[in-house]
């Protein structure tokens, strides 16, 4: 375990206001948001159809009368159809990486940027950041919100930034060795790459100066956290956000690490069944839907994130009163349906990590040679797991297969492959090759 221990410092008193106060703030800000969006063509039309005006919002239950916004709606109004202010008021643009074609642009006023850095400061402080620290940021700086979002959050706290940006892992390791940062910011899979590359050049990743880390940008698992913490000898915190809602800062963990506190004075969260859009109970998995409450340039109403997680409204020992969300266990569009079973890549990852000695570098291949789906999980073997005994290697394969059945509920053919042969991903991990899609079978 890392020697690093955090106290319970809270950056903004708003994080611990009473639930009644919070509800009052939310209602007032929801009305303001409806007023601000009334001239955005998409919302103007939807409000007219539903007979909605700022004055018609009497309670938070009226949220359910408001229209849902999908990613496709943003795409249909590319690039700036959702802009709610004059272009002259925009201070910065960001964009989310479109997997196909064009990005989705988002915009910020000067006030939005202040709000955003404050939200990042909240979770950074909750996860141990103090003014005397130095933070190594290995997120991409560009349209992606991760780099700039965390950068200004760290500066807001008063700490120092090494804006290393993404790429060139050898150089990243050199910078960490020389600049001795206290904290690391990147994707969790990139943290594993840093540890792996460090070992390959005879640098002990546990001996680096890093004491804690804030990871985001992609789904990961609790087992992966354990591995990163052991590989790099640090305390790892999870944070969540997406550019359409604001970027990183939507939620983040406190020292209790029992879910990510959602900044509810700035966003209303719903967790719904992705098919019926009916709300699900606390603890049940559903799709997260967010409504921004304070954004000026591009407010968003009931945005379907396609991220699957659960909510928890029970009190947290840290003193914050906000609801917490679980890790994102998958995305509605990442979800694979294998012989009728819903499977998320994160479940395969969890299974692999449960088998001691299996590094989380893997690739899921799905095909339908006849009428039934078949899954092959390619797993990179690490030198320490390799045995000269055939029997032990077979046992390793069988254990992985059994864990996959136990976690994901499907049978998969496990193929052991040489290390460093599967592609490494800098950003959002894409670990699925679905031949059924290429073949037009799904």
Partner 1 sequence: MKINQLSVFLENKPGQLSEPCRALADAGVNILTLSLADTDQFGIMRLIIRDWEKAKDVLGKAGCVVKVTEVVAIEVEDHPGGLADVLEVIETGGINIEYMYAFTFRRKDKAVLVFRFEDPDAAVKLLQSKKISVIDSVELYDRAE
Rounded to a whole number of angstroms, the minimum distance from the CB of residue 394 to partner 1 is: 7
- Ordered DSSP codes for 82-133: T--S-GGGEEEEEEE--SSSSPEEEEEEHHHHHHHHHHHHHHHHHTT--TT-
Rounded to a whole number of angstroms, the minimum distance from the CB of residue 417 to partner 1 is: 5
* Residue 202 binds to partner 1 (criterion: CB under 8 A): no
Sign of CA pseudo-dihedral 15, 92, 325, 313:
positive
CB contact burial 401-422 (16+ within 10 A = b; e otherwise) = bebbeebbebebebebeeeeee
How far is residue 63's CA from residue 268's CA, in Å, rounded to a whole number?
9
Contact set for partner 1, span 304-363 (CB under 8 A) = none
Query: Quick one: 32 or 367, whose CB is closer to partner 1?
Result: 367
Collect all residues with Cβ–Cβ distance below 8 Å to 227 and sequence separation of at least 6.
192, 353, 360
Rounded to a whole number of angstroms, the minimum distance from the CB of residue 196 to partner 1 is: 14
Query: Quick one: 17 or 404, whose CB is closer to partner 1?
Result: 404
Contact set for partner 1, span 364-393 (CB under 8 A) = 381-383, 386-391, 393
What residues form DSSP beta bridges with 237?
Answer: 214
Rounded to a whole number of angstroms, the minimum distance from the CB of residue 373 to partner 1 is: 20
* Residue 418 binds to partner 1 (criterion: CB under 8 A): yes
The residue whose two tokens read 């899921």 is 364
Query: Quick one: 369 or 383, whose CB is closer to partner 1?
Result: 383
* Residue 416 binds to partner 1 (criterion: CB under 8 A): yes
Rounded to a whole number of angstroms, the minimum distance from the CB of residue 145 to partner 1 is: 36
Please say whether the beta carbons of 4 and 212 come within 8 A: yes
- Ordered DSSP codes for 135-163: EEE-SPPSSSHHHHHHHHHHHHHT-EEE-
Rounded to a whole number of angstroms, the minimum distance from the CB of residue 393 to partner 1 is: 7
The one among 45, 168, 394, 441 contacting partner 1 by CB under 8 A = 394
The one among 56, 168, 420, 441 contacting partner 1 by CB under 8 A = 420
Contact set for partner 1, span 119-148 (CB under 8 A) = none
* Residue 397 binds to partner 1 (criterion: CB under 8 A): yes
Q: How far is CA 66 from CA 51, 214, 300, in A?
A: 10, 34, 11
Please say whether the beta carbons of 97 and 428 come within 8 A: yes
Q: How many residues bind partner 1 (CB under 8 A)?
A: 19
Binding region for partner 1 (CB under 8 A) out of 84-92, 145-153, 322-330, 409-417: 409-417
HEC-encoded secondary structure of 241-280: EECCCCEEEEEEECCCCCCEEECCCCEEEEEECCCCCCEC
Query: Quick one: 70 or 394, whose CB is closer to partner 1?
Result: 394
* Residue 419 binds to partner 1 (criterion: CB under 8 A): yes
Please say whether the beta carbons of 224 and 231 come within 8 A: no
Identify the CA nearest to 347 among candidates 285, 403, 309, 415: 403
Binding region for partner 1 (CB under 8 A) out of 123-131, 315-323, 336-344, 416-424: 416-424
- Other CB atoms within a 10 A radius of the CB of residue 200 amount to 13
Query: Quick one: 71 or 397, whose CB is closer to partner 1?
Result: 397
Rounded to a whole number of angstroms, the minimum distance from the CB of residue 226 to partner 1 is: 24
Rounded to a whole number of angstroms, the minimum distance from the CB of residue 391 to partner 1 is: 8
Query: Quick one: 8 or 421, whose CB is closer to partner 1?
Result: 421
Rounded to a whole number of angstroms, the minimum distance from the CB of residue 385 to partner 1 is: 9
Query: Quick one: 12 or 367, whose CB is closer to partner 1?
Result: 367
Collect all residues with Cβ–Cβ distance below 8 Å to 160 and sequence separation of at least 6.
133, 134, 135, 154
Binding site for partner 1 (CB under 8 A): 381-383, 386-391, 393-394, 397, 415-421
């Amino acid at each position: 375990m890392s020697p690093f221990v955090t106290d319970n410092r809270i950056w903004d008193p708003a994080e611990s206001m009473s639930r009644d106060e919070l509800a009052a703030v939310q209602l007032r800000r929801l009305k303001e948001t409806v007023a601000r969006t009334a001239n955005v063509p998409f919302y103007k039309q939807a409000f007219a159809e539903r007979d909605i005006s700022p004055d018609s919002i009497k309670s938070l239950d009226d949220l359910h009368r408001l229209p849902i916004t999908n990613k496709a709606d943003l795409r249909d109004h590319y690039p700036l159809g959702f802009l709610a202010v004059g272009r002259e008021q925009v201070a910065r643009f960001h964009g989310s990486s479109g997997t196909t074609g064009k990005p989705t642009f988002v915009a910020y006023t000067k006030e939005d940027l202040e709000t955003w850095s404050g939200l990042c400061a909240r979770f950074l402080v909750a996860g141990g950041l103090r003014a005397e620290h130095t933070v190594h940021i290995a997120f991409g700086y560009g349209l992606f919100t991760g780099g700039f979002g965390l950068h200004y959050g760290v500066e807001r706290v008063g700490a120092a930034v090494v804006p290393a940006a993404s790429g060139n892992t050898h150089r990243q390791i050199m910078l960490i060795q020389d600049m001795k940062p206290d904290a690391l910011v990147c994707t969790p899979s990139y943290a594993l790459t840093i540890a792996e590359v460090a070992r390959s050049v005879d640098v002990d990743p546990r001996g680096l100066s890093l004491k804690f880390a804030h990871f985001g940008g992609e789904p990961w698992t609790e087992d992966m956290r354990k591995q990163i913490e052991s590989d790099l000898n640090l305390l790892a915190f999870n944070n969540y956000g997406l550019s359409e809602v604001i970027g990183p800062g939507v939620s983040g963990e406190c020292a209790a690490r029992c879910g990510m506190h959602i900044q509810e004075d700035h966003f209303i969260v719903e967790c719904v069944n992705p098919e019926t859009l009916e709300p699900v109970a606390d603890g049940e998995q559903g799709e997260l839907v967010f409504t921004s409450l304070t954004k000026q340039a591009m407010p968003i109403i009931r945005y379907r994130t396609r991220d699957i997680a659960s909510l928890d409204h029970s009190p947290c020992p840290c003193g914050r009163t906000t609801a917490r969300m679980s890790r994102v266990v998958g995305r509605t569009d990442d979800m694979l349906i294998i012989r009728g079973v819903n499977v998320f890549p994160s479940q395969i990852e969890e299974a692999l990590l449960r088998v001691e000695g299996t590094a989380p570098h893997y690739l899921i291949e799905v095909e339908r040679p006849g009428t039934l789906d078949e899954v092959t999980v390619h797993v990179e073997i690490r030198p320490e797991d390799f045995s000269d005994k055939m029997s032990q290697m077979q046992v390793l394969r069988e254990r992985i297969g059994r864990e996959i059945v136990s976690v994901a509920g499907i049978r998969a053919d496990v193929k052991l492959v040489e290390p460093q042969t599967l592609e490494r991903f800098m950003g959002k991990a894409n670990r699925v090759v679905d031949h059924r899609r290429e073949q037009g079978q799904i």
